[in-house]
Amino acid sequence: MKIQRFESTNPKRQDLELGVWFVPLCERVCRILARYRIVILGCVLVTIGCDQQSINDNKPGDLPTVSDSKTHSSNTVSSPVSMNAGSVMDTQDNLKSTSNQILYNPLNEAESYVILRKGTERAGVGEYTDNKKTGTYTCRRCNTALYKSDSKFDSNCGWPSFDDEIPGAVTRHADADGYRTEIVCANCGGHLGHVFFNEGFTKKNTRHCVNSISMKFYEAGSELPPVMK
């Protein structure tokens, strides 16, 4: 004899059966959410912040910046002037700001470092430190006569020393270091060195400490080149 099983068709009974497992499940979920609400809230805020940053980073008109070494090397702008044997003519720095745009004597890299960027030649290596010949020292950049050989003396400092300049050829002003006095060519402003006082080397008690590389020497009797003004 077969026993036929009848499913309940009473809606109220079905709701009751559903509530037996659904209500406890909801209560458990609520407890979990309440326990970890701070963590969940933090995750939501972080997500919103990241999305906003992404939007800002991708605004129209913004271009990406690449800064790896390969890009730098490939994007280096080369000088319009050719470089031969390690020397370079700095045409921009050698152009005098006048309506005629006079071009001074070309300078190589070492000369530009001292004359234009106020560097210092190493002590004891200068071409004219121990020069004893009679003649005139001129500005390497513009040919202005700066010093006569009879003003030169031995100071054993490692650079050519003079106790006087040709009148009007050299300009003095405070050095950037705040305590020395810089000397420059009065015509082109090229850096020569520094001047010191009260050292007792000569009666004039003055020492122009000049970089050899800032000058050119012409022996007595030689024709001096025209000054570039």
Report DSSP state, residue 84: B
- Is 188 labeled as catalytic in the residue annotation? no
What are the structure tokens assigned to 58, written together?
A: 């991708």
Q: What does the alpha-carbon distance between residue 24 and residue 50 come to, in Å, rounded to a whole number?
A: 36
Q: What does the alpha-carbon distance between residue 142 and residue 220 come to, in Å, rounded to a whole number?
A: 19
8 Å CB contact between 188 and 228 = yes
What are the structure tokens assigned to 6, written together?
A: 């009848």
Other CB atoms within 10 A of residue 199 CB:
13
Q: How many residues does the chain have?
A: 229
Q: Is the dihedral of CA 108, 114, 120, 126 positive or negative?
A: positive
Q: Is the dihedral of CA 26, 28, 31, 35 positive or negative?
A: negative
Please tell me which residue in 139, 142, 188, 209 is annotated as part of the active site: 209
Query: Nearest CA to 79 among 94, 69, 65, 99?
Result: 94
Q: Is the dihedral of CA 189, 191, 197, 201 positive or negative?
A: negative
- Active site amino acids: 209
